[in-house]
């Protein structure tokens, strides 16, 4: 089960798992996802789509239950990739926008982790992969709500791991670096900031969705059975410099 798979990192990750022969259910509110599923099925990929608004708690609950039915009552892997970013100066950040960011980025992830774990615990096995951020490590500018949500993602990943690692569920997180996605379009269009960030990345480029596919497949596999509560930067070395 993958959230946020209609575009950006989530779409690349979903396609990576489909190429490996996995049955994948996408949770999305994008109208484009239905066409996306048709394209996948033309390739004989086992893809399903549940339309929902993850920021609405009742809709989120219904979508999870519908997805579990499509998966015959089971779930092996949950990937929480959905997220939004809203920018305001910190002293002007509206509390309504703060709530909107926290509901999708943090509360939805918390809720889906809990729901998935209750299925996984019955069989004593499962993999949960959350999406943290560089802003799990530092604060950023004009994105105080996003930074708060991603700092919290790192902490709930560790907290869930403490309780579930001994019960067969691995909970880890990917922390993408600066990625060439729609979410970062404002940074990409800011010539001086784009150059400043690019000059700091030892890999000399911004990341892509494909850069996150391999780490996610590793975390979803038996190869990561003794990896718990890790926040793994996929950042071209940005944090090292």
Q: Which residues are catalytic?
A: 146
Strand partners, 2: 26, 79
3-state secondary structure 86-97: CCCCHHHCCHHH
State the DSSP H helix or E strand holding residue 78, giving kind and residue range, or none if neither.
Answer: strand 77-80
Whether the CB-CB separation of 33 and 15 falls below 8 Å is answered with no
Q: How many CB atoms lie within 10 A of CB 234?
A: 18
Strand partners, 49: 26
* Tokens 């999870």 found at: 64
Give the C-alpha distances (Å, rounded to integers) separating 213 from 19, 118, 165, 181. 11, 26, 23, 15
**What pairing do the DSSP bridges indicate for beta strands 231-234 and 77-80?**
unpaired
The CB-based long-range contact list for 26-35 (8 Å cut-off, 24+ gap) reads 26/2, 26/50, 27/1, 27/2, 27/3, 27/52, 27/54, 27/63, 27/64, 27/67, 27/82, 28/3, 28/4, 28/52, 28/82, 29/53, 29/54, 30/6, 32/6, 32/7, 33/5, 33/6
């Amino acid at each position: 089960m993958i959230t946020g798979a209609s575009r950006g990192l989530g779409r690349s990750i979903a396609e990576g798992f489909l190429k490996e022969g996995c049955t994948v259910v996408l949770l999305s509110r994008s109208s484009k996802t239905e066409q996306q599923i048709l394209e996948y099925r033309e390739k004989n990929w086992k893809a399903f789509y549940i339309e929902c608004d993850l920021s609405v708690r009742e809709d989120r609950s219904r979508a999870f239950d519908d997805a579990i039915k499509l998966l015959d009552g089971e779930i092996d892997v949950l990937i929480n990739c959905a997220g939004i970013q809203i920018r305001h100066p910190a002293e002007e950040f509206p509390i309504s926008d703060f709530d909107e960011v926290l509901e999708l980025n943090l509360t939805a992830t918390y809720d889906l982790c809990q729901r998935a774990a209750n299925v996984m615990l019955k069989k004593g096995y499962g993999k949960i992969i959350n999406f943290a951020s560089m802003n799990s490590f530092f604060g950023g500018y004009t994105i105080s709500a996003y930074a708060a949500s991603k700092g919290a993602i790192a902490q709930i990943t560790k907290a869930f791991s403490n309780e579930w690692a001994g019960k067969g569920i691995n909970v880890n997180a990917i922390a993408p670096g600066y990625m060439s996605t729609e979410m970062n379009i404002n940074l990409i269009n800011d010539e001086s900031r784009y150059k400043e960030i690019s000059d700091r990345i030892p890999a000399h480029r911004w990341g892509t969705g494909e850069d996150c596919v391999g780490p996610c497949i590793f975390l979803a596999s038996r190869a990561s059975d003794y990896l718990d509560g890790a926040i793994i930067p996929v950042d071209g070395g940005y944090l090292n410099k």
